[in-house]
């Protein structure tokens, strides 16, 4: 399988790769003129590209006409995840990309154990993790991680733009399959938000605020899932029920 790289410099049948990826392809992979790779513009269009030359910090290509990426799901999912301790968020990011999530929004809430610290620096690392994960699993877009929201009220103020908002509550709620079926009956699902909590879960007033903001409360079965398990379980279930894991 050809190696995959992201670049926005694709035009008129040519493309250029720069930076660390160009170095990796030219120096580490020891690519040669005539070798073929897959280039992606980060907006779900891919190109079969043939190397035509090397610059000091670039690799140049001729490209065939672009085609839609087969790796992108039919729904654009944003995961609002309660900020967990240690490196759990990194696990969620890596595996969430593989499962098809496009946007990640951490947030602090009443029962979060973690506290804000060097968030700009962490965000740079999180987006690098997403970039590498997207290349590894063959995504056609570049998923992104936002800076964390300061409280659950900020989460609720961000929910109006979604076709369906799923609030995953440890105290129970409606079955996920039923909620998706109901939402499909109102029209096509294009954008879905999933909200999961940190180690301490959600306060009752946060659950009430989510419902007031239009979120649908979801139960995840009789077992309590860990904060790093719940978002991945819900992502996988949503992808299955929308036909995006077939």
User: 4-68 domain in CATH 2.40.240.20?
Assistant: yes
The DSSP annotation for the chain comes to ---EEE-S-EETTEEEEEHHHHHIIIIIS---TT-EEEEE-SBSEEEEEEEEEE-SSEEEEEEPPPEE-TTS-SSEEEEEEE--STTHHHHHHHHHHHHT--EEEEE--TT------SHHHHHHHHHHHHHHHHHHHT-SB--EEPPPBSSHHHHHTT-TT-SEEEEE-TT--B-HHHHHHHHHTTS---EEEEEE--TT---HHHHHHHHHTTPEEE---SSPPPTTTHHHHHHHHHHHHTTTT-
Do 4-68 and 76-241 have matching folds?
A: no
Spell out the domain ranges in the chain.
4-68, 76-241
Given this model, what pLDDT does residue 185 score? 85
Given this model, what pLDDT does residue 1 score? 65
Given this model, what pLDDT does residue 184 score? 87
Say which CATH architecture domain 76-241 belongs to. 3-Layer(aba) Sandwich (3.40)
pTM to 2 decimal places: 0.91
Splitting the chain (246 residues) into consecutive groups of 10 residues, what average pLDDT does each group show? Answer: 88 95 93 95 94 95 95 96 95 97 97 91 96 93 97 97 96 93 89 96 96 95 92 97 92
């Amino acid at each position: 399988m050809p190696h995959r790289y992201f670049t926005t410099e694709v035009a008129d049948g040519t493309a250029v790769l720069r930076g660390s990826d160009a170095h990796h392809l030219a120096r580490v992979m020891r690519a040669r003129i005539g070798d073929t790779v897959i280039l992606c513009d980060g907006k779900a269009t891919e190109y079969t590209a043939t190397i035509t030359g090397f610059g000091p910090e670039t690799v140049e290509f001729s490209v065939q006409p672009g085609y839609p990426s087969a790796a992108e799901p039919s729904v654009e999912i944003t995961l609002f995840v309660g900020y967990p301790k240690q490196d759990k968020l990194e696990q969620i990011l890596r595996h969430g990309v593989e499962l098809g999530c496009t946007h990640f929004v951490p947030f602090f809430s009443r029962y979060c154990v973690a506290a804000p610290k060097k968030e700009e620096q962490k965000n740079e690392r999180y987006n690098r993790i997403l970039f590498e994960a997207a290349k590894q699993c063959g995504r056609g877009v570049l998923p992104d991680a936002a800076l964390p929201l300061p409280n659950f009220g900020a989460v609720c103020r961000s929910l109006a733009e979604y076709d369906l908002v799923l609030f995953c509550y440890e105290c129970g709620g409606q079955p996920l399959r039923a909620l998706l079926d109901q939402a499909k009956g109102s029209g096509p699902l294009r954008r879905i938000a999933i909200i999961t909590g940190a180690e301490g879960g959600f306060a009752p007033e946060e659950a009430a605020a989510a419902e007031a903001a239009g979120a649908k409360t979801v139960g995840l079965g009789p077992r309590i899932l860990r904060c790093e398990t719940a978002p991945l379980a819900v992502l996988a279930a949503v992808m299955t029920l929308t036909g995006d894991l077939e």
